[in-house]
């Protein structure tokens, strides 16, 4: 019996009060492709970080080839041929493709390394994506998103001294079109057949079922199911992941909004964007295909950069809280009130009593779990921080709320509470423009625009808003 | 393929173009400058400025900024004019120590995650203090060999230009061609990806700082070779000149996007700007101001060209 | 206990503590003879760095990369032009002051125009601007040293109830600055921009407008300080602003304002400014020269930033 390349046993990881991994055991054998599925926040990324050495578990053991590795870190993992392709870009945008290859392969140094690096990356690119047309002396920042992802994947499979043995692919196809994705998955199968191992993470379930040899389902930091791929169906996977809201059950009654006035409009190339009063409009499509840009455009077109506006036209709920949501030095109170200070002040001086009172009302209304609104924002859990951001937006008088995938990493209970608030507010005439990467959220919307390569390629309304339709348009849609 | 060439070319074209235009203007105003001696005079002080610019560029390549460049070069000048000429052994020891201090600054800045602007601000006081202790009044004497090197008269082109070319080539090799250079720029571009590949970002940053220290030391030594004596305030302008040189040369403050050849061209442009203004017979009152104006004009030009480039890309 | 706890966590307390320590060490050497003189001198000289420092603090609060390097040039130009305009005439004091402030406004507007229009980092924009402003100062000054009007010369050098007048001016400005920062929407907004500019923009804050006002405010305070300093020292000199470039940044950092932005601290500026002056006079009293003084200053700045760098940002 061959020994597992990496075998993690009873691993626990917690971030503050949140248990990201709660006793996970996973062994990766040579020559298998393990599919890893689960909702956002199920712990997939965390277990990946443990396996690639980027995160040391607070408890549990890691074995390589049957031997206990005492100090498992990035270098130990790399020495064993463990590679990782991350969801976000992990190349240096200011370097050329071959210089990035040099960074990845530590043993490529010495005179003439450019030549070697060029060979290494070009051989890999040629094998995986024949006819790719990417010159290795191009600067990564000048490549398109798909080209970058191709380079990144090819780099993980390339052999620059230490042959790759276990490759972790985290949503590798998210920016590739269908034919490139097929090429890649075909290479994964070849790699596995030749004795390599792959961990494949993807939200496109049929990809996983057709490519993986074994599928592991994670939920709330645990492994909840594990079976050979043949034993799974897509529905079975969805059930095992514990899909909380099955779209249809919570589907809003289709409302007649034909008479409602258009409140926001954005005309670019592709189908024009319009949202009506009281409507919940979804932005769907593969991640990074222009949905956030659309929200930014909507915000910029009605925002004020120079003069304060008495009546804001739009307000925004961030998805990437750290980047454009939370003010880390501030209390919960100040974080809540920052967007509505104009209503809480006279002659530019903030009325502290009014501020505290308003915050108290919202604390009750959306149940922010904190003993004191004067506590630091960062003392809250992620879900509660997100609720504060919702309260911040809803407390303004803006008639349009823009939401940039705000439920990332939020627990199920909070989601349900927020969905309810959104429904209420929409019923009172607020318009919501909602970008979400979670299919069941998109299915809560009255109307959905599907994005591809920066443009709207499809508009779905009412009963047409289904997972199949959205997926179909995200892949087949042609940019106008 | 074609697009990348033009992107890179534009990055270098603007500084080269500014230099060419400026040089043309100088020759037009003062045809006699178009000679071996004339060029030597025009670019006389270019070598130390170019070296300091490369040093600043190395710091900027890891997304930091060194506000102590001027005082450090002054300090090195003072050491060169005193210890290095009288007791060469101690002199070398002190300068090696100074480079080590630079490496240490890189380590401290990285470990404690400090803003480099403030740390180097503090260091600028320290270097200034040490320089004042060494040379309370202008004086000292350049070591003979430094003087000889700096006043050499190579055939065809004057020393200042030959040396600038050598500096550009050496810096290009270290920063753009060597593995270490790739690593340093990688830290500037995406620190996490470098970390994930198993490199020590700490070591890379320390190396960038140490290299910067070496180039800055060379700047100080070469400066004394030209001026023959030193004083504690001799190179205070270099902080600003070096930053401006990097920017003029197409470098950017963050993201590890730098160009050593561009930086040297930027330094030459700044040096030439001084001469140009005196040829223009602009009143000496406005000389500094005109330098500021030139800086603004070049930056505006760059913005314009970047815009054009982006528009092409979008098509 | 809670009171003690709260105070010891206030970032400004350290600069005050250090200032007091140095003050005490200095008067001990002189046997207490110079207590009043030293205190008055400290308040007087600190006043200028306080005024400039507050302006710089507002800019630094805007977040990483925001810094105004044109402060010294603005001080010089404002001082020079104002003294030239007033021409020793007491009746011209107000026009002189207005002119100085107008110069500040003009410099501030141009600074931000460059930052915004050329999309260049503030450090380069304000630097280029400072070259031009400095040239303007050289051009107006022409080596002449015009005395300030007698009333202003008296006002800036004398005391009221034992307190130097310039430090009273600094106090008034500090109170205004404190009120702006702590009580008004504007203060909230600059803190928000400093913590996260994208988040501030998405929260509907008019980011450009606020940054613009802040750069103008900083330049106006610099020009005001230049006006007062020129009157205090009996005439404008071309190098009168030089030391305030590093000083203005140093007092902000030492005073406990977060260098990464978003968290500013007015009392800390006072402590730090007094401290910076007192260190110099202490080292002078001990007979140490300029070299040691500079080295000490540098080491102090570095130690403070190293200590502060490891500290968690305080709850606000």
pLDDT, tens only, C105-133: 999 999 999 999 888 888 888 988 998 99
- The arrangement of strands across the sheet holding A197-201 comes to A82-85, A166-170, A197-201, A33-37, A214-219, A222-228
DSSP A177: -
Rounded average pLDDT over A394-420: 83
Confidence label for C95 from pLDDT (cuts 50, 70 and 90): very high
Question: Among all residues of chain A, which has the CA nearest to that of C211?
Answer: A306
Instruction: Give the residue among B302, B253, C65 at the shortest CA–CA distance from A94.
Output: B253
More confident residue, C173 or C140: C173
Answer whether residue B107 shows pLDDT above 90.
yes
Q: Which of B182, B192, B257 sits opposite A90 (nearest CB)?
A: B192
Interface test with B, best of C122, C129, C141, C295 (most B CBs within 10 A): C295
How many residues does this entry show for chain C?
316
Q: What percent of chain A has pLDDT over 90?
A: 22
Average pLDDT, chain C: 87
Question: Among all residues of chain A, which has the CA nearest to that of C193?
Answer: A327
Q: How far apart are CA C249 and CA C272, in angstroms?
A: 11
* pLDDT at A251 (0 to 100): 54
Answer whether residue A368 shows pLDDT above 90.
no
Instruction: Give the residue among C295, C281, C289 at the shortest CA–CA distance from C24.
Output: C281
Q: CA distances (Å), C296 to each of B116, B124, B130, B226, C248, in order?
A: 19, 11, 11, 32, 17
Please indicate if any CB of chain B lies within 8 Å of the CB of A94: yes
Rounded average pLDDT over B263-288: 83
Q: What percent of chain A has pLDDT over 70?
A: 92
Please give the interface size between A and C, counted as residue pairs whose CB atoms are below 8 Å apart: 97
Confidence label for C3 from pLDDT (cuts 50, 70 and 90): low
* pLDDT tens digits, one per residue of A162-181: 889 999 998 887 777 778 88
Q: How far apart are CA C309 and CA C258, in angstroms?
A: 9
Please indicate if any CB of chain C lies within 8 Å of the CB of B282: no
Strands A6-15 and A314-317: unpaired
Answer whether residue C181 shows pLDDT above 90.
yes
Q: Which of B115, B123, B292 sits opposite C131 (nearest CB)?
A: B292
Q: Which residues of A touch B198 (CB under 8 A)?
A: 74-75, 78, 106
Interface test with A, best of B180, B183, B193 (most A CBs within 10 A): B193
Q: What percent of chain B has pLDDT over 90?
A: 43
More confident residue, A263 or A227: A227
The domains found in chain A, sorted by start residue, are: 6-241 (3.40.50.300), 247-476 (3.40.50.300)
Rounded average pLDDT over B5-15: 69
Q: How far apart are CA B175 and CA B177, in angstroms?
A: 6
Give the pTM.
0.83
Q: Which of B177, B192, B255 sits opposite A94 (nearest CB)?
A: B255
Please indicate if any CB of chain B lies within 8 Å of the CB of C120: yes
Query: A145-149, A280-284, C151-155: lowest mean pLDDT where?
Result: A145-149
Please indicate if any CB of chain C lies within 8 Å of the CB of A244: no
Query: B93-102, C67-76, C254-263: lowest mean pLDDT where?
Result: C254-263
Interface test with C, best of B116, B121, B254 (most C CBs within 10 A): B121
Task: Evaluate whether B239 touches B61 at the Cβ level (below 8 Å).
Answer: no
* pLDDT tens digits, one per residue of B38-53: 888 888 889 999 999 9
The chains in contact with chain C, meaning 3 or more Cβ pairs closer than 8 Å, are A, B
Strands A82-85 and A166-170: parallel
Phi, psi (5° rounding) for residue C5?
Answer: -60, -45
Confidence label for B3 from pLDDT (cuts 50, 70 and 90): very low
Query: C79-83, C147-151, C260-264: lowest mean pLDDT where?
Result: C260-264
The domains found in chain C, sorted by start residue, are: 38-308 (1.10.3470)
Task: Evaluate whether C111 touches C215 at the Cβ level (below 8 Å).
Answer: yes
The chains in contact with chain A, meaning 3 or more Cβ pairs closer than 8 Å, are B, C
């Amino acid at each position: 019996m061959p020994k597992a390349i990496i075998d993690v046993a009873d691993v626990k990881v917690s971030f503050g009060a949140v248990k990201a991994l709660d006793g996970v055991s996973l062994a990766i054998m040579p020559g298998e492709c393990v599919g890893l599925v689960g909702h956002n926040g199920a712990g997939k990324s965390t277990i990946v970080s443990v396996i690639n050495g980027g995160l040391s578990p607070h408890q549990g053991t890691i074995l390589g080839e049957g031997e206990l590795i005492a100090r498992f870190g990035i270098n130990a993992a790399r020495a064993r041929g463990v590679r990782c392709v991350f969801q976000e870009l992990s190349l240096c945008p200011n370097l050329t493709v071959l210089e990035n290859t040099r960074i990845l392969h530590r043993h490529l140094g010495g005179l003439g390394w450019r030549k070697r690096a060029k060979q290494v990356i070009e051989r890999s690119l040629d094998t995986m994506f024949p006819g790719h047309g990417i010159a290795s002396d191009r600067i990564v920042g000048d490549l398109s998103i798909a080209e970058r992802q191709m380079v990144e994947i090819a780099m993980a499979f390339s052999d620059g001294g230490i042959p790759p043995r276990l490759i972790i692919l985290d949503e590798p196809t998210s920016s590739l079109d269908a034919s490139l994705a097929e090429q890649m998955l075909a290479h994964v199968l070849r790699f596995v057949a030749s004795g390599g191992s792959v961990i494949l993470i993807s939200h496109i379930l049929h990809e996983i079922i057709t490519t993986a040899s074994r599928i592991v389902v994670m939920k709330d930091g645990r492994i909840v199911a594990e079976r050979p791929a043949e034993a799974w169906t897509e529905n079975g996977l969805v059930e095992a992941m514990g899909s909380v809201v099955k779209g249809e059950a919570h589907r809003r009654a289709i409302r007649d909004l034909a008479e409602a006035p258009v409140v926001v409009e954005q005309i670019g190339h592709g189908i024009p964007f319009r949202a009506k009063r009281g409507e919940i409009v979804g932005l769907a499509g593969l991640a990074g295909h222009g949905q956030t840009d659309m929200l930014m455009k909507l915000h910029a077109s009605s925002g004020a950069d120079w003069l304060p506006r008495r009546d804001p036209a739009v307000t925004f709920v961030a998805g990437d809280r750290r980047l454009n949501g939370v003010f880390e030095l501030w209390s919960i109170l100040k974080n809540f009130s920052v967007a509505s200070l104009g209503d809480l002040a006279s002659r530019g001086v903030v009325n502290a009593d009014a501020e505290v009172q308003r915050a108290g009302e919202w604390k009750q209304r959306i149940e922010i779990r904190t003993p004191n609104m004067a506590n630091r924002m960062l003392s809250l859990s992620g879900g509660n921080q997100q609720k504060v951001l919702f309260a911040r937006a809803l407390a303004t008088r803006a008639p349009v709320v823009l939401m940039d995938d705000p439920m990332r990493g939020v627990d199920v209970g909070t989601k349900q509470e927020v969905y309810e608030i959104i429904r209420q507010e929409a019923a009172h005439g607020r318009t919501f423009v909602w970008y979400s990467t979670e299919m069941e959220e998109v299915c809560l919307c009255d109307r959905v625009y599907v994005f591809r390569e920066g443009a709207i390629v499809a508009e779905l309304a009412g009963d047409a808003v289904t997972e199949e339709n959205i997926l179909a348009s995200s892949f087949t849609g042609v940019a106008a | 393929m074609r697009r990348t060439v033009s992107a890179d070319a534009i990055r270098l074209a603007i500084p080269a173009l500014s230099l060419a235009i400026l040089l043309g203007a100088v020759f037009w105003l003062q045809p006699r400058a178009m000679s071996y001696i004339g060029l030597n005079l025009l670019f006389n002080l270019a070598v130390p400025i170019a070296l300091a610019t490369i040093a600043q560029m190395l710091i900027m390549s890891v997304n930091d900024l060194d506000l102590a460049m001027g005082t450090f070069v002054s300090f090195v000048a003072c050491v060169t004019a005193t210890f290095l000429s009288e007791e060469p052994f101690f002199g070398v020891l002190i300068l090696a120590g100074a480079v080590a201090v630079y490496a240490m600054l890189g380590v401290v800045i990285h470990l404690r995650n400090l803003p480099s602007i403030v740390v180097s601000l503090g260091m600028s006081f320290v270097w200034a203090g040490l320089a004042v202790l060494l040379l309370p009044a202008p004086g000292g004497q350049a070591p003979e060999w430094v003087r000889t090197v700096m006043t050499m008269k190579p055939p065809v082109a004057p020393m200042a230009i030959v040396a600038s070319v050598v500096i550009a080539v050496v810096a290009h090799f270290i920063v753009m061609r060597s593995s270490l250079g790739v690593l340093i720029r990688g830290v500037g571009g995406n620190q996490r990806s470098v970390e994930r590949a198993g490199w020590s970002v700490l070591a890379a940053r320390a190396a960038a700082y140490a290299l910067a220290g070496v180039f800055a030391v060379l700047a100080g030594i070469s400066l004394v070779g030209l001026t023959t004596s030193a004083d504690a305030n001799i190179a205070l302008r270099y902080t600003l000149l070096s930053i401006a040189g990097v920017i003029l040369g197409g470098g950017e403050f963050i993201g590890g996007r730098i160009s050593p050849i561009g930086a040297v061209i930027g330094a030459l442009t700044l040096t030439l700007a001084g001469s140009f203004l005196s040829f223009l017979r602009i009143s000496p009152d406005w000389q500094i101001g005109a330098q500021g104006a030139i800086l603004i004009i070049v930056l505006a030009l760059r913005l314009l060209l970047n815009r054009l480039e982006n528009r092409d890309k979008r098509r | 206990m809670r009171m003690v706890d709260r105070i010891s966590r206030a970032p400004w307390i350290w600069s005050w503590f250090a200032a007091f320590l140095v003050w005490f060490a200095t008067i001990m050497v002189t046997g207490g003879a110079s207590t009043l003189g030293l205190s008055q001198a400290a308040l007087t000289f600190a006043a200028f760095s306080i005024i400039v420092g507050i302006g710089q603090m507002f800019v630094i609060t805007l977040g990483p990369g925001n810094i105004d390097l044109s402060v010294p040039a603005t001080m010089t130009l404002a001082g020079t032009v104002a003294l030239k305009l007033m021409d020793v005439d007491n009746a011209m004091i107000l026009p002189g002051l207005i002119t100085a402030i107008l110069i500040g406004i003009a410099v501030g507007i141009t600074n931000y125009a460059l930052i915004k229009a050329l999309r260049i980092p503030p450090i380069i924009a304000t630097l280029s601007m400072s070259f031009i402003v400095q040239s303007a100062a050289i051009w107006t000054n022409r080596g002449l040293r015009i005395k300030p009007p007698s009333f202003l010369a008296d006002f800036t050098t004398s005391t009221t109830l034992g307190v130097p007048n310039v430090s009273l001016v600094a106090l008034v400005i500090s109170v205004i600055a404190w009120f702006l920062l702590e009580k008004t929407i504007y203060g909230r907004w600059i803190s928000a921009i400093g913590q996260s500019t994208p988040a501030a923009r998405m929260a509907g804050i008019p980011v450009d407008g606020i940054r613009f006002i802040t750069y103008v405010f900083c330049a106006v305070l610099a020009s005001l300080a230049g006006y007062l300093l020129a009157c205090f020292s009996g005439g404008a000199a071309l190098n009168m602003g030089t030391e305030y470039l590093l000083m203005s940044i140093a007092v902000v950092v030492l005073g406990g304002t977060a260098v990464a932005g978003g968290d500013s601290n007015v009392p800390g500026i006072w402590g730090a400014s007094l401290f910076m002056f007192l260190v110099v006079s202490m080292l002078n009293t001990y007979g140490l020269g300029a070299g040691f003084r500079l080295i000490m200053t540098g080491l102090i700045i570095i130690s403070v930033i190293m200590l502060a760098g490891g500290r968690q940002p305080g709850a606000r």
